[in-house]
Chains A and B, each alone.
Chain A
Amino acid sequence: MKLKESVVKGLVKLGNLLKVPEAGISPMRYEVLLRNIRILMLIITIIPLLLMATINYHQYQSRLKQEIVDPMKVLVNKTKHSFELFLAGRLSTVNFIASAYTYEELADEENLQRIFRVLRAEFEGFVDIGLIDPSGRQVSYAGPYELQGKNYAEQPWFEQVKVRGVYISDVFKGFRQFPHLVIAVQHFAGSGGRWWIVRVTIDTGKFDELIAAMGLRPDEDAFLINHEGILQTGSKFCGAVLDRCAVSVPPQSYEPNVLENTFLTGRDTIVTYAYFTRANLILMVVKPKAEVLKAWYTLKSEIVFVFGLGVIIIVAVVFRLTGTMVNRLKESDQKRELAMRQMQHSHKLSSIGRLAAGVAHEINNPLAVINEKVGLVKDLLEYRSDRPDMKDVLLRHLSVIVQAIDRCSAITHRLLGFARRMDVAIESLDVNEVIEEVLSFVEKDAAYRNVRLERHLAEDLSRITSDRGQLQQVFLNLFNNSLAAVEDGGWISIATANGGSDTIKISVQDNGCGMSEETMRHIFEPFFTTKKGEGTGLGLSITHGIVSRLGGEIQVKSAVGEGTRFTVHLPKIPPEIGEENRS
C-alpha cells in the first residue's frame, strides 16, 4: 500500500512538472519552466540509461564470470582426474601383485625384493612394499626401512582393509619423516578363506609434480586437503603439509565448484575445488580475485565510464537545448507581447479614428452655434445698429459663443486624454471616473439611437492600482460592443461593485441580440467577428489580453435574443506589483 501511495505521489509530482506556468502571472515563469523541463528531461533520459547500464552490468558480470570460472573448473577437473588416474594406477598395480603371486611367493623376502625392484623400475613413487598376514604381522618387507615383523593389528587402517578390502590412507609423515600415503589391498586365495594384505607406501612427491603441471601463475595456488581440512600437499598460502588448511573445507561436490569471496592472505580470492571420488581428498585451486576478474573490472570501469560520459553529455545537451529553447520562447513571448502591444496600439488608434467621426459631429455643433452667433452679431450690427439694447443683446450672444467654445475645448481635451495614454502607466485610480470618461464618448451616439445608458456605480468603490489608458480601452471596447449589439431604443447597464477584499467588479450588460454558445466559445479569440465586414475581430481579444495582463479576468454570459453581460474582475493591486512589494 505504501509503495502504491508513494508511486502515486511520485506520478503527481511528475505531473506537476508538466504544468506550464501561465503567461503574465510571474516573471519567474521562465526559470520555473526551465527548471521543470530540465528535471523532466533528465529523468526521462537518465533513467533508461541507468536501467540499461544496470542490466548490462549484471549481464556482463554473470557472463564474464562464467567465462572466467569455467576454464578454472575444467583445469581442476582435469587435474583431479590426473590424481585419480595416478592413484588408480598404483592401486591396480598393488592388486595385481596381491593376486598374481601366492602367499608363499610374497612371504619369500628375496622374491619380494625382486618384485619391489621391478615395481620401482616400472612405476614411479613406490617407497616400500610389505606382506601382512591376517594377524596383522608384517611377514615380509622390501624397502629402505627395517620394518619386518612389525604388527599393524592395532592400527585403524588394518580394520578398514579387513572390512572394505582396499585402503588408501591420508598423507602422513609417520616415522619415515616425509609425506607419503599407504595403499593396502586384501586378497583372498581360492575358496579356503585364506587371505593376506599387500601394503605399499607411495611418495606423494608425484602430487607436487601433478600440481606443477597445472601451470599456475606465481600468485595462484593449488593443493590437496583431506575431508578434515588437513593439507595433503604443500601450499603457497595455506600452510605446509599436514597443517590445517587456512581455507575451511568446502561443501561436498564431486563436480568442480567455485567458492567466491574467500579472504585469504589479505586478498579476495576465488577457490575452485573438486572432491575425489575414491580417496579422502579434495583438490583446491586458489586464484586472486583481482587477477581473475581483471577483464570484468576493466569492462566494469568501461561501463561506468560510458554511463558517466552519457550522463555528462545528456546533462550538457539538456541544459544547452532547454536553455536555448526557453530563451527562444522568452524571445518569442516578448515579440508576441510587443506585437500584441502594437496591435493594441493600432486598435486604439482605430477606435480613436472611429471616435473622431462622432467627435467631429460634436464639435461641428458648437462650431455651427459659434458661426451663427457671430453671423447674427454681424447682422445685428448691420441691420439693427439703432437698437437701444444692442450692448445687452451682443453680450448675451457673446456669452453663448464662449459656452460653445468651452464645449469644443472639452471635447478636444477628452479626446487628447484618451489618445495620449499609449504607454503602460500604473497609477492609483477611481474606476467609476474612468467609466464616466469613456461613457462621455459613447453617450451622444447612444442618445441619437435612444439607447438608455444606466449607471449603477458603487459610491464606495475602492480605488485600484492599474493602468488608466488600458482600462479606457477595455471599457470603450465593451461599451462599443454593447452599442453594436443593442437595437435602437435598447439599454446598456453599467455597474461597479467591490468584489471581496482585493478585487472590484465591473459589469456591462445589454438587452441586445445576445450570442450563441458557439460564438461565446470563440468570443475572445483574435480575428473572430460576427460583425461581417465591419469588425476586425480584435476588440474582445485585446480586451481579454489587457484584463489578463492587469491580473484580472473577464467573463461573459449571454443568451440569444436576451442580451449579454460582460463582467470584469480587477485586482486592487496587480499581481506583479503585489509580488514586488512582498519580496
Chain B
Amino acid sequence: MNDPKVLLVDDEKDFVCTLAERLELRDIKVDVAFNGTEAIEKIEKHQPQLVVLDLLMPGMPGLDVLRWIEKRHPDTEVIVLTGHGEQECKDEALRLGADCCLLKPISIEKLIDKMMKALTSSKPKNQ
C-alpha cells in the first residue's frame, strides 16, 4: 500500500506535531504546516492527496486555504478539523468541497478512519 501523502494544517503547534507523530507511529506519512500560507506553499510543493485543515488560524484563514485548494488542486481531499463548532463555518467548508468536518478533540482511530475514507473516495478522481 502506497503511503498517501497527508498534510496537517493547524496553528496549534503542540497539537499538530503530536498528531503527526502519532500518525507516523501508525505508518501514515504526514507533513505539517502551521498557517495558511505555509500550507499553500507545501501543497504547491508536495501536492498531498489529503489535507487536514483547521479553520481558524491567524493570517490566512482555513476557508481561504480551502477555496485555493478547490481552485488550484481540485483533486486534493480536504478534511476540516477545527475547535470551533460554528455551524455556518462547517456548512461553508462542506459547500466549498471539504469531505467532512470534524471537531477537536477527536480520537485518532476516528480521524484515521475518516482519512482513509477520504483517500479511497479520491481514487476514482485520479483515474
Residues of A participating in the B interface, judged by any CB pair closer than 8 Å: 357, 360-365, 367-373, 375-376, 379-380, 383-384, 397, 400, 403-404, 447-450
- Asked whether any CB of chain A lies closer than 8 Å to the CB of B94, the reply is no
| A369 to B105 alpha-carbon distance, docked (Å) | 8
| A356 to B22 alpha-carbon distance, docked (Å) | 31
Counting residue pairs across A and B whose Cβ atoms lie within 8 Å, the total is: 77
Residues of B participating in the A interface, judged by any CB pair closer than 8 Å: 12, 14-15, 18-19, 21-22, 25, 56-59, 61, 82-86, 103-108
What would 7 more interface pairs be, CB under 8 Å, given A364-B104, A369-B12? A357-B86, A360-B84, A364-B85, A367-B83, A373-B14, A375-B108, A400-B14
A379 near B25 with CB under 8 A, answer yes
| B60 nearest in chain A by CB position | A450
B59 near A450 with CB under 8 A, answer yes
| B108 nearest in chain A by CB position | A375
B58 near A450 with CB under 8 A, answer yes
Q: List 24 A-B contacts (CB under 8 A).
A: A357-B85, A357-B86, A360-B85, A361-B56, A361-B83, A361-B85, A362-B83, A364-B105, A365-B15, A367-B104, A367-B105, A368-B15, A368-B106, A370-B105, A371-B107, A372-B15, A372-B19, A373-B14, A376-B22, A383-B25, A400-B18, A404-B14, A449-B61, A450-B59
Cβ–Cβ < 8 Å partners of A447 in chain B: 58
The contact of A364 among B14, B19, B59, B83, by CB within 8 Å, is B83
Give chain B nearest CB distance to A519 CB in angstroms: 26
B22 near A375 with CB under 8 A, answer yes
Give chain A nearest CB distance to B103 CB in angstroms: 7
Q: Give the interface SS of chain B, mostly helix, strand, loop or mixed.
A: loop
| A360 to B14 alpha-carbon distance, docked (Å) | 18
The contact of A371 among B59, B85, B86, B106, by CB within 8 Å, is B106
| A163 to B25 alpha-carbon distance, docked (Å) | 167
Given contacts A373-B14, A379-B22, A379-B25, contact A368 B61 (CB under 8 A): no
The contact of B58 among A363, A364, A448, by CB within 8 Å, is A448
Count chain A CB atoms within 10 A of each CB in B15, B82, B85, B86 and give the residue with the most. Answer: B15
A369 near B14 with CB under 8 A, answer yes
A365 near B58 with CB under 8 A, answer no
| B86 nearest in chain A by CB position | A357
Give chain A nearest CB distance to B49 CB in angstroms: 22
The contact of B18 among A357, A361, A369, by CB within 8 Å, is A369
B56 near A448 with CB under 8 A, answer yes
| A375 to B21 alpha-carbon distance, docked (Å) | 10
B12 near A368 with CB under 8 A, answer yes
Cβ–Cβ < 8 Å partners of B61 in chain A: 448-449
| A447 to B84 alpha-carbon distance, docked (Å) | 15
Given contacts A364-B104, A448-B56, contact A372 B22 (CB under 8 A): yes
| A357 to B89 alpha-carbon distance, docked (Å) | 13
Cβ–Cβ < 8 Å partners of B15 in chain A: 365, 368-369, 372
Given contacts A379-B22, A448-B56, contact A372 B86 (CB under 8 A): no
B83 near A365 with CB under 8 A, answer yes
| A401 nearest in chain B by CB position | B14
The 5 tightest CB contacts between A and B, nearest first, are A364-B83, A371-B105, A368-B104, A372-B18, A361-B84
| A375 to B18 alpha-carbon distance, docked (Å) | 9
Cβ–Cβ < 8 Å partners of A368 in chain B: 12, 15, 83, 104-106
| A371 to B103 alpha-carbon distance, docked (Å) | 12
